[in-house]
Homo-oligomer: A and B are copies of this chain.
Amino acid sequence: MASVDNIILFGDSITEVSWQAGGLGFLLADAYRRKLDVLNRGFGGYNTEWALPIFEQVIPKKDEQAHLPTTRLVVIWFGANDAALPGSPQHVPLERYKANLATMVSMLRDPSSEWYHAPERTKILLVTPPPIEEKAIAHVLATVFNPPQPLDRQFDNTKLYAEAVKAVGAEHDVPVIDMWSAIWDAAGQNVEALGQFLPDGLHLNAAGYKHAFDLIVDAIAKNWPELKHSDVKQVYPHWSNIDKANPRLSLRAQKLP
């Protein structure tokens, strides 16, 4: 069972629904096919405050790691809900959001943590929330919800949360995928054009996820080339390389580099 290592995607609905065609989970699962499992730990609606007790449960503890596949990468992607405005049950104050992200990083990186993962084996990426498009969100809240709900997120506020992720990354030396800027720039810094990537104003479509995938691939290539999907070896040999006279000998799982 320990023969296939994994990548954990930890986040909110943007992660949860990313098994869809063209979604981040879908793209990574296919890119790492027969190389690493991609575990979707996305929880729609969750903010970092609610995510922390779950992080404790989905990240293997030190004393469990010997029995489990190695987690090679943890992608932490929250903020779309934390950035809900004060008054919303999803709202998490900016400083608390930063502290929660820093806690997740420390849980993985602090050798005294129960959830410590050796940094040479387990990499971390932080991802910023994408921008939001207020009009589309307002439309959903006014028409899909009963009773209709007022707008609970603001473009400028979500931008602050995106910037906060960059600050946490810089402080803790963790690479940051700046999805806020990627989508904002791809939309030509034009609010009206955000709908190309965020059909409901909050969630990414395949065109949006493509940016997340490309940025993650680039960050891996730059920081940890041994983890590039093109360079990670397939588990078990190609069938043409099996020793046909003595297959069992050639059919052992490779060890980690």
Contact = CB atoms under 8 A, between A and B. Distances in A.
A119 B62 CA distance: 31
Nearest to A34: B16
B251 A54 contact: yes
A167 interface: no
A185 interface: no
Interface in A14-65: 16-17, 19-22, 25-26, 29-30, 33-34, 37, 39-46, 49-50, 53-54, 57-61, 64
A102 to B, nearest CB: 19
Given A4-B39, A247-B49, A90 B26 contact: no
Given A64-B67, A90-B239, A26 B33 contact: no
A236 interface: yes
A238 interface: yes
Interface in A195-216: none
B68 A1 contact: yes
A181 interface: no
A191 interface: no
Majority secondary structure, A binding face: loop
Nearest to A42: B34
Nearest to A28: B19
A45 B89 contact: no
A68 to B, nearest CB: 6
B89 A53 contact: no
Given A30-B20, A67-B64, A58 B247 contact: no
A112 interface: no
Given A4-B58, A33-B40, A34-B42, 6 more contacts: A1-B59, A19-B26, A19-B29, A34-B40, A46-B239, A50-B251
26 contacts: A1-B57, A1-B59, A1-B61, A1-B64, A4-B41, A17-B33, A19-B30, A21-B21, A21-B26, A34-B40, A34-B43, A43-B239, A44-B238, A45-B239, A45-B240, A50-B239, A50-B247, A53-B247, A53-B251, A54-B236, A54-B251, A57-B252, A57-B253, A64-B67, A67-B68, A89-B240
